[in-house]
Structure 1
Amino acid sequence: MCAVTIQVGDLYAQPRGSNLTADAPAGQATWIWYPGDYAVWLANKMQNRRTERGAFLPVFWKMDSHYVLVEFHKDINLSHPDTIQIAVEGRYNVKIDGKAITGNLKTIQLPKGQHRLSLKVYNQAAVPAIYVKGNQVISDGSWQVTFEDKEWIDASGKASDKSGTTYEHAGYWNFNTAANKPSAFQLQTVPASPVKRTVLPSGSVLLDFGKETFGFIRLKEVSGKGVVNIYYGESKAEALSRDSCETLDRIEFTTPVNNFDTTTASTKAFRYVQIDAPKAVKIGQVDMLYEYAPVTSRGAFSCSDSLINKIWQVAAYTLHLNTREFFIDGIKRDRWIWSGDANQSFLMNYYLYFDQPTVKRTLYALRGKDPVTSHINTIMDYSFYWFMAVKDYYEYSGDAELVKTIYPKMQTLMRYCLSRTDKDGFMEGLSGDWVFIDWADHLTKKGALSFEQLLFCQSLETMAICANVCGDKAGAKKYQNLASQLKAKLFSVFWDSERHAFIHRIFKGKKDEAVFRYTNMFALLLGYLSPVQRKEVITHVLLNNQVQAIHTPYMRFYELAALCVADSQKVVTREIKSYWGGMLQKGATSFWEEYDPAAKGDAQYAMYGRPFGKSLCHAWGASPIYLLGKYYLGVQPTSPGYKTYEVKPALGGLKWIKGSVPFAKGDIQIYCDQKQIKVKTTGQTEKGTLIFHSRTQPRTNLGTIKQTSEQAYTLELHTGQQYVVNYEAI
């Protein structure tokens, strides 16, 4: 692994290293396993690290396990004999053409001709995995795997050739040498030192690392005997509060040590650390090992406003901290994989990293195994976000293979959802269901909520899209019919023409005519509204201060996206500067789980009935990455995998913007001011479309500008060309 240097004084420097989040290169041998199993196993390890003040705190939902016995095989046609090397995680056997071989199983001789090479692997502790490397034969995603091969042998000794076994393509990541075992995976670390050290009146030491960070604390040159207590804080007040800080460590030296170095057993999130040691224990220096996933930042954004630039940088750092083995919610408290949080991280990722493997691992980990016994994370809306995340991943990446692999699990989860609908086809929170939506006052959640039906409808439409990808025409028709029926009921029951908006819910047959932002802004985002309804929702809900405001970055993500869809980027610019800029004024070095501008002093850190319960580094706080990439630079795919795409830049009141948006096989670079637009695409794509408005007749150095309506124009874009359009912004 590459060495990485972090300048702690550079508040938002992101480390650069080998990109462990990339998939294995084509044609290279790599460790393989049953698809999704490594994600399930790794998620179990990660999510069970959570502690609260030293007490183990496991997740609230069912945890699954990997399949412990897996059969791998590959049909090959060798032009000449091949010697292959085999490495395996677990006990295993090897068969060539159905016949088990004995002796040395690490080096196998394969004769010329057609053969089936098979390995069956058992591993209870870690994921059964294999690595095969020869001149002609390598382990990769083309291998077939199953967790039950249903093999049988008749009385003559002949093995079955038609067992009805379901095979899948092998899963893999980028463990590309025999020595690089999947079970040994760890995130990278690099030393970092505090920027300030203060001796407190009590004699303990307060360390300030200058910013929100994550990792292990190292005590160096320790001498003596006794107990060292370590109190962590995302804020100074938290680190100083020995009785209320969310996380702590206790290191006990039961026998005297001399010049001894030690590292805490687990990672923590902090900016401040209080070290309390008895007089009998002397500590030389204290620093940390910063732990990180070495993702590569491919996206970029800058503009004429220095505050917006800083907000983008802090948002990128926030997402970086919460990008670990998976996309997690926050680094201090939960450190779990929540579907609603992850869905937003996926979208931000498409504009910063375009890291596909972490998305896939997170999708697999969230879904787990059959049978389905509850909603994902036990939350109804989080099941729906998971469906929607699969659709988004396919649209951004074009990865049909993932859709085909995960589609059966989509079917069983949707079957569970459909089994819990009421007589009208609506979904309500039943026993064991958590209906979340958002942290908000006065938001009643009993009955059939319009918001949940809207997400349910979008999930059914996702099922229809994925069914078509998988060639399931009957399934596509069924799911689309269900979606159409539900959509019609949604409008007939919940749309209120007098209020010009969707009402909140029906409970015990009666309508709750309260209007909240949630359903209305999602209907706008998803394109469910007619032109007239669209104007009504913008005027009577989104721009109406009488409708209850949203206070969490979680739902501000969608609210501001909806305003951008409504071409209200100037409003969004003001909101970003006020809301995220407000956190910076409060001293934030990463963005928070929730922000109330009215909260003063230490009260701003309270949540869940605890004085420091709020996460000050929460993934959903990083939404400016997505907003500025998709709705200011204006880039999004219009067919799966950016085969076609659009660029629709919007200044939003800024004098100029520039940046880069990544996709799987390239990137799109944009510059826009009030007089000129520049676009250049690199990599593999079919074509793009620049969409813009101009007061005057625009001119271009390449291609032909087409006028689509009054003051509206388009220009076809092709890869490798630098397009320069002179125009006059409206």
Structure 2
Amino acid sequence: MSIIEKITPWKANWIWGGSEESPRNEWRWFRTSFVCPQDLGQLEKAILWITADSRYEAYVNGKRVGRGPVRYFPTDIRYDAHEVGHLLRRGEINMIAVQVMHFGISNFQYLRERGGLLAQLDAFVGDNEVTLVQTGADWRTIVHAGQDPAISRMSCQTAFAERIDGRKLAEDWTSTAYSDAGWQQALVIGPVGMEPWVRLVPRDIPYLTEEPVLPTRVISVNRVVPYQLTGFIDAYHLMKAPGEENANHIRFCGAFATILRLREEAEVKVMFHVGGLGIVRLGERLYMEAELEVEPPLTHIRATLPAGDHLLLYTVNGPEHGHSNRVGIDADTEIAWISPLVSEGNGERMSPFVCIGPSFTYSCIDYTDQDELLASWEVEKVRFADRIAPLASVEDLQASGYLVAPIPHSLANGEDAFMPQFAKRESEAFSVPSSLQRIAVASTDPGVVPVFENGDTEFILDFGKEWSGFLEFELEAEAGITIDWYGIEYRKDAYVQHTFGLDNTLRYVTREGNQRYASPIRRGFRYVIVTVRGAKKPVLIRDVRVVQSNYPAPEIGAFRSSDYKLNQIWDISKHTTKLCMEDTFVDCPAYEQAFWVGDSRNEALVNYYTFGGTEIVERCLRLVPGSEFQTPLYGDQVPSAWTSVIPNWTFFWIVACREYAEHTGNRAFAADMLPKMLLTLEAYLECVNADDLLDMKGWNLLDWAPMDQPNDGIVTHQNVMLVKALEETAAMAAFAGLPEQGTVCAEFAVRVKAAINRHLWSEERGAYLDCIHPGGRRSTIFSMQTQVMALLVGVTEGERAARLNAYLTATPDGFVPIGSPFMSFFYYETLMKSGNVQWMLDDMRENFGFMLDNEATTCWEMYGHTTMNRANENDLTRSHCHAWSAAPGYFLGAYVLGVRPAAPGWAKVIIEPMIGDLSWASGTVPLPQGGSIDVAWKAEKGEIASLVITAPASVELDIRVPAACSVAVSRVRELPAV
């Protein structure tokens, strides 16, 4: 790993290919060859400088040298520096090949601009720098022929699922032996500094790991028969205006239709996975919303229809954020779907669907006043449904007055690999043959996939625990076999928790013979469901692996104790955090892979104690102000094209900035970030009312719980966090040596704190109410979340504080309880202020222990026993790997081991174990300057009896144990910095 800045001027130009600036889901190949001079002398290094919009994979002489770039705001695109000198062949032809994956849509990680590649290879010989290669018109390019761009979105947060035709895939395209004679000349689109990439910024984080992980076993084999027809429709794209430049959710009123053609009379079954589904027409029958058979998130209808053509029509209203509509259709006879309109769309391949409308649409901005638009949408939903309901034929549609347009194949088709995973007409279980189980062992013999005459073969691979990375496989097959790879996080017995909201599939069509494929799309999963469709003879699978990829933090942190369950809880907390450390912290490796700002504050603390990473924390903190062009309140996830604000997430960012500055002792960082903190606080203080309370529209979230936290009004926990943000900013100013810049913040914190106690305390309930609604209506809801935050921040004192402290272990009747592991982080922080470690340990054992009891290998987003879907006892949580839930990874080290910083940069460290009911504990805590502190203690009769510490000689120790405790301290010398 090296973070290298290019000092000398760029000679390369930005290049692209084709006629579209920003094609939808286009993978494009680029190549150039060059002769590496024989007389280069003593070659010290050769660096390939490279970046691309949206993502790239780079190869030198057939060897993949890197992926990138890290996520970025377009004006400040990041570039990478790959050392490739060891791969160059002196005096021979060398090849640089790059695969660029351009999204063509905005999401929660990327703001859409245009496609582009920039690369330059420089050789360093002594003091001389020689440019060997630079992107320009001499490069050649072609669209990846084997990648199908007409595939559904993975999720609204990410880009696209994957469909690869191995028959069109040239495995050797990165080598010098491959001929690119049929490729096009690359198009030079501009020099370095062109818009939108006006600034090139060096990568600010180490390159991610690549660690092969093999499956541990094959769990099951099933013969399956999917519905005859399955497909997706990109309703978001079709109903949205103005286009793909943002990722804001929309509300709309529209409809979709197709014609079902039956050879003979039969019962027809239709399955919908559609958000905002309204009325449905199937032939002569109109189904109102109340008549639909709903099994969330699926909806079913069925009807017996005569031979012939029948209209299938449904309305859809949103809100929609970028997930696809999905429809599955089946019958006991042959059935087909065709477009209601005979149109080829100017030569473009068309789908069997048409789009009606929209009759109304608007893009939602969370923190703006859109009440009038929302009201109009509610009215139009009813009006639109009333006008659509009587339409019973194609002629009726055409005469309706609404725009009725064919949908291109690229936006709706039957190549969907996700819907067939649950739209099945038959599924029959078989025992797993030993010949298939060979997939999960390091055997030279391949795994043999059995063949069924009247169905497809489905089997499930277990990778032992959750992983996050890139799927690779090698297999041997006849040509034209479809193999679907589908990652899931949870299953139990015959139950499979499908990733609704995430198309976590890869569809691969085989060519003849042996073949290997390595996906460039990141996925998170524990299990992979593999379905071999249409095989006449067994497919031989020689290798399956996930290349685990995460921030390269060494696993320094450790924790063990006399309680095996706590040890397991710490382990899954650490593994969860690892999987959620990519080029930023992410909320989860499966569904979203998004950098949620508020989540990352807690994730940073867990990371400090498990891995000790610092570059990832600083990178995340510095990214946040980049959203200022969208809102001075700063985005709640960045870099993102969804303009969304959670005020608490910005306040947590301020807290995390101060914590990082003190954790590392970096006063320069503090001085640099202070103006950015002050800028957003100035915007928030404009929302403070005459009573000195924050009174604003926004996504006023703290916890997934039925507390009263409306998106408009005075929310108590939000005002409490404003006090904290103001205090932390004043502390940051003092730390940066600029105390006068924090004076206003300190003074305003006092005012808001007083206002909270004056206006938001209920003497009757002895607690802070959740909120005051617009117009002055005081909430009747009281929550533990609000009381916890008031105690944690210290806005309450004296008798009130004593009363709230009592609630921490005896929740009053009617108070909303803690609703998520995320909120438990703040709950544990509050418990530790009073030293109540036993209550914290018991809470961990109960809540995280429930996860372990259900075979969790990572921490869930929610507590399954309190939030489970009561309609399905197996549906315990959406995300089974969520680092906002990894609190034990921090608290067991900070309080049970008792290792906490007492001075900036950990120059001084407190050692103060809290033993609870444990008889011993030991572990390691990383230090930000390198090295670590090892602690091991034993307890007797409820008191700590012995303590052994190993620490660097430069770290001052403040050991706080009873006088009778035996203490042994070992000091280690530190190596000089390299």
TM over 0.5: yes
1:518 alignment counterpart: 785
Q: Out of 502, 509, 533, which is 1:246 matched to? A: 502
Once residues 633 and 605 of structure 1 are traced to their aligned partners in structure 2, the CA distance between those partners, rounded to angstroms, is 35
Q: Which of 544, 547, 550 is the equivalent residue of 1:290?
A: 547
Q: Give the 3-state SS of the residue equivalent to 2:516 in structure 1.
A: strand
- SS in structure 1 at match of 2:629: coil
The correspondence of residues 173-212 of structure 1 with structure 2, limited to 5 A, is: 173=204, 187-202=209-224, 203-212=457-466
Superposed, which structure 2 residues align to 1:331-350 within 5 Å? 331-350=589-608
Separation of aligned partners in 1, 2:113 and 2:611: 29
List aligned pairs for 1:587-626, cutoff 5 A: 587-597=855-865, 599=868, 603=872, 606=875, 614-626=878-890
Matches of 1:522 and 1:351, distance apart in 2: 23
| Aligned counterpart, 2:938 | 673
Q: How far off its partner does 1:351 sit?
A: 1.0
1:576 aligns with 2:844: yes
Q: 1:188 to 1:354 in 2, by over 3 A?
A: same
Q: Once the 2 structures are TM-superposed, how far is the Cα of residue 548 of structure 1 from its aligned partner?
A: 2.1
Q: Residue type matched to 1:336 in 2?
A: A
Tell me if the contact between 1:217 and 1:289 (Cα under 8 Å) persists in the aligned partners: yes
Q: 2:583 aligns with which of 325, 345, 348?
A: 325
Structure 2 counterpart of 1:261? 516
Conserved 8 A contact 1:501-1:541? no
**Larger strand share, 1 or 2:** 2
Aligned partners of 2:898 and 2:2: how far apart in 1?
Answer: 26
- If each structure's helix is expressed as a fraction of its own residues, which one has the higher value? 1
Count matched residues: 572
Shift of 1:638: 2.4
| Partner residue of 1:220 out of 471, 474, 494 | 474
* 1:498/1:659 CA distance change after superposition, 3 Å: farther
Displacement after TM superposition at 1:420 (Å): 2.4
Instruction: State yes or no: 1:549 paired with 2:808.
Output: no
Displacement of 1:505 in angstroms is 1.8
**What is the Cα deviation at residue 61 of structure 1?**
9.2
d(CA) in 1 for partners of 2:790 and 2:132?
50
User: Closer, same or farther in 2 for the Cα pair 1:321/1:516, shift >3 Å?
Assistant: same
Q: CA offsets per residue over residues 484-521 of structure 1, 9 Å max, x none?
A: 22122222222344534322222223433532122322
Matching of residues 451-530 of structure 1 within 5 Å: 451-507=717-773, 508-530=775-797
Match of 2:959 in 1: 690
Paired residues of 1:301 and 1:312 also in contact (CA < 8 A): yes
Alignment-mate amino acid for residue 952 of structure 2: G
In the alignment, structure 1 residue 441 sits paired with structure 2 residue 441: no
Q: 404-413 or 307-316: which moved more? A: 404-413
Q: Deviations over 1:286-317 (max 9, x none)?
A: 51222222311222111111111111111111
Residues 483 and 196 of structure 1, relative CA distance in 2, 3 Å threshold:
same
CA distance 1:534–1:395, shift in 2 (3 Å): farther
Distance 2:113 2:910 in 1: 42
Contact kept in structure 1, 2:821 and 2:884, CA below 8 Å: yes
- DSSP-derived class of the 2:594 partner: coil
Whether the aligned pair in 1 keeps the contact of 2:208 and 2:582 (CA below 8 Å) is: no
* CA offsets 1:170-202 (integer angstroms, 9 cap, x no match): x76477xxxxxxxxx554242423422532122
Distance 1:197 1:548, change over 3 A: closer
Task: Give distance in 2, aligned partners of 1:562 and 1:502.
Answer: 16
Deviation at 1:387, TM superposition (A): 0.5
Distance, in Å, in 2 between the alignment partners of 1:239 and 1:405 is 52
Between 1:82-91 and 1:588-597, the stretch displaced more is 82-91
* Contact in 2 for aligned 1:552/1:594 (Cα 8 Å): yes
TM-score, normalised via structure 1 length: 0.70
1:179 aligns with none
Work out which of the residue numbers 544, 564, 568 in structure 2 matches 1:306. Answer: 564
Partners in 2 of 1:391 and 1:518 — Cα distance?
23
> Residue 127 of structure 2 corresponds to which residue in structure 1?
83
Tell me the equivalent position of 1:586: 854
Q: Which range moved further: 479-488 or 597-606?
A: 597-606
SS at match of 1:211: strand
Alignment check: 8 A CA contact 1:298 1:662 kept: yes
Contact 2:475 2:514 in 1 (8 A): yes
Q: Identify if the C-alpha distance between structure 1 residues 492 and 679 changes in structure 2 by more than 3 Å, giving closer, same or farther.
A: farther
Shift of 1:448: 0.7
The question of whether the paired residues in 2 share the 8 Å contact of 1:227 and 1:250 is answered with no
2:905 to 623, 641, 646: 641
Q: Is the 8 A contact 1:642 1:685 kept in 2?
A: no
Q: Classify 1:31/1:235 alpha carbon distance in 2 versus 1 (closer, same or farther; 3 Å).
A: same
| Higher radius of gyration, 1 or 2 | 2
Q: Would the alpha carbon gap of residues 191 and 579 (structure 1) be closer, same or farther in structure 2, given more than 3 Å must change?
A: closer
- Tell me what 1:95 maps to: none
1:427 Cα deviation from its structure 2 partner = 2.0
The answer to whether the Cα contact below 8 Å between 1:380 and 1:429 also exists between their aligned partners in 2 is no
Tell me, what secondary structure is at the counterpart of 1:264? strand
- Residues 631-667 of structure 1 show CA distances to partners (whole Å, capped at 9, x for unaligned) of 2122222222122332221111111122222221332
Task: Indicate how the Cα distance of structure 1 residues 634 and 422 shifts in structure 2: closer, same or farther if over 3 A, else same.
Answer: same
Could you tell me which residue of structure 1 aligns to residue 917 of structure 2? 653
Counterpart CA distance in 1 for 2:196 and 2:629 is 22
Q: In the TM superposition, what is the alpha-carbon distance from 1:365 to its structure 2 partner?
A: 2.3
| Deviation (angstroms), 1:324 | 1.3
**Residue 650 of structure 2 is aligned to residue 386 of structure 1:** no
Per-residue deviation, residues 572-610 of structure 1 (Å, max 9, x unmatched): 111111111111111212110012316489935648xxx
Task: Give the 3 Å change call, closer, same or farther, for CA 429–528 of structure 1 in structure 2.
Answer: closer
Which amino acid counterpart does residue 383 of structure 1 have in structure 2? T
Note if contact 1:91-1:122 (Cα within 8 Å) is conserved in structure 2. no
2:108–2:594 contact (8 Å) kept in structure 1: no
Q: CA deviation at 1:569?
A: 1.3
Q: Distance in 2 between matches of 1:211 and 1:360?
A: 29
Name the aligned partner's letter for residue 83 of structure 1: D
User: What pairs with 1:113-192 in structure 2 (closer than 5 Å)?
Assistant: 122=193, 173=204, 187-192=209-214
Taking the aligned partners of 2:133 and 2:193, their CA distance within structure 1 comes to 8
- Tell me if 1:537 matches 2:804: yes
> 1:376 is matched by which residue type in structure 2?
G
Distance in 1 (CA, whole Å) between partners of 2:497 and 2:806 is: 47
* TM-score normalised to structure 2 length: 0.53
Letter in 1 for 2:825: F
Amino acid at match of 2:611: Y
Find the residue that maps to 1:266 and give its secondary structure: strand
Alpha-carbon separation, structure 1, partners of 2:846 and 2:960: 29
The corresponding residue for 1:632 is 896
Q: 1:678 to 1:468 in 2, by over 3 A?
A: same
Partner residue of 2:685? 418
Inter-partner Cα distance in structure 2 for 1:331 and 1:195: 22
Q: Is the 8 A contact 1:542 1:563 kept in 2?
A: no
Given the alignment of the two structures, is residue 274 of structure 1 paired with residue 529 of structure 2, yes or no?
Answer: yes
Asked if 2 retains the 8 angstrom alpha-carbon contact of 1:656 and 1:673, the reply is yes
Q: 1:193 to 1:444 in 2, by over 3 A?
A: closer
Q: Could you tell me whether the CA contact under 8 Å between 1:388 and 1:462 is conserved in 2?
A: yes
What is the root-mean-square deviation in Å for CA atoms of aligned residues?
3.9
CA distance in 1, matches of 2:769, 2:915: 33
